[in-house]
Amino acid sequence: MKIKRHSAALGFLAAGTLVLSACGSDQNVKAEDVNPALSNLNVECGTQPVSSEGSSAQKNAMDVFARDYSSKCEGQELRYTKSGSGKGVSAFNAGQIDFGGSDSPLDEEDGEVAKAAERCQGNPAWNLPMVFGPIAISYNIPGVSDLTLNPELIGKIYQGQVKNWNDPAIAALNPGKQLPDLDIVPFYRSDESGTSDNFQKYLKTSTNGAWTGEGKQFRGGPGVGQGKEGSDQVSQAVQATPGGISYIEWSFPKNLGLGIAKIDSGAGPVELTTANVGKAINEAKIEGEGNDLRVDLDSIYGNKAPGVYPIVLNTYEIVCSKGYEPETAKGVKAALTVAANANPTELEEAGYVPLPQEFKDKVLTAVNAIS
């Protein structure tokens, strides 16, 4: 039932985009009533809808952004189509949308960087990391509400090397806890998924290469675990299976009341909280130059500092640095400025983490430079 209420709430946010944009001042909806941060936010609204398309991982955050944008810029809309990262990049490069949403930055080897520059009238496109969503290691162990795992153990579970919850290696990380003699039942995404891609990148980095699987198709040990399509099916499978475990976007285990493991990267157990994920984001290194803010994922996934929760998926908004028509540039800048100032509580409820101030400043500097 909780997952249905969550879906209903997100549906309300999506519907709110249409209601607010259609009614605007007719309903006397004030921006500060929707999101207090908008009251002192100065943006120059465009005169036409802003269109975007791409990653499904950021769709629920986009619902929040769209509602806020329609409130701040009365009569205007931020339209987002959930079609997948590849289609988002293709649509952007073809000039069909104003900005694209992608789980990965533009790929130079695949020609995406060159195509994007051509679309932007000979100017470079920028990758702006606007949305961050933690990946939870979720579990169902009867009688256990507090569990700590480390990357090596998580990898061994998915390689079939650790098979029982009372394994000595797990017990060593959880002293004094009564772990049951219960088979571990790993679940994974059977469909291609940005969540699997980022989870495997995390395992590879954090285990110093002991994990070798990579890509959007999950590559665990032969015959290990059960595949389920979509995060909703994975989370429901964990809920229904004593001994179950999986990697799932934060909102799903939260709404189903599943256990979420603490991660010990070497400096002690770290709980999945907004603050602890924010530390990982703030300490992330930027690979791109200037306002091209491509994130060095290794600097997040390999961060072993105390209090850092390192399993994070980030998505980009791909924009033209220059080359937009004037009204399009206004709309894109206004929409992304509003997005960067989204209500933290609403983002967390939707399963995301708000941008920490220091990182948000970098993103807003890039947004303000769009022309």
* Binding-site residues from annotation for phosphate: 55-57, 85, 103, 193-195
Q: In 3D, which of 267, 271, 269 has the Cα closest to residue 259? A: 271
Per the document, the length of the chain is 371
Name the one residue in this structure whose structure tokens are 């997005």.
339
Is residue 17 a contact partner of residue 66, using CB atoms and an 8 Å limit? yes
Q: How many CB atoms lie within 10 A of CB 57?
A: 26
Q: What six digits make up the tokens of 252?
A: 């799903």
Half-sphere exposure of 89 (CA within 13 A, CB side): 22
Q: Measure the CA–CA gap between 330 and 334, rounded to whole angstroms.
A: 6
Q: How many CB atoms lie within 10 A of CB 266?
A: 10
How open is the CA angle 67-363-320, to the nearest 5 degrees? 85
- Position 347, amino acid: L
Q: Measure the CA–CA gap between 61 and 153, rounded to whole angstroms.
A: 32
Q: Measure the CA–CA gap between 228 and 129, rounded to whole angstroms.
A: 29
Name the one residue in this structure whose structure tokens are 């101030």.
357
Q: Measure the CA–CA gap between 261 and 39, rounded to whole angstroms.
A: 38
Q: What DSSP string describes 308-320? A: ----EEEEEEEEE
Point out the annotated binding site.
Answer: 55-57, 85, 103, 193-195
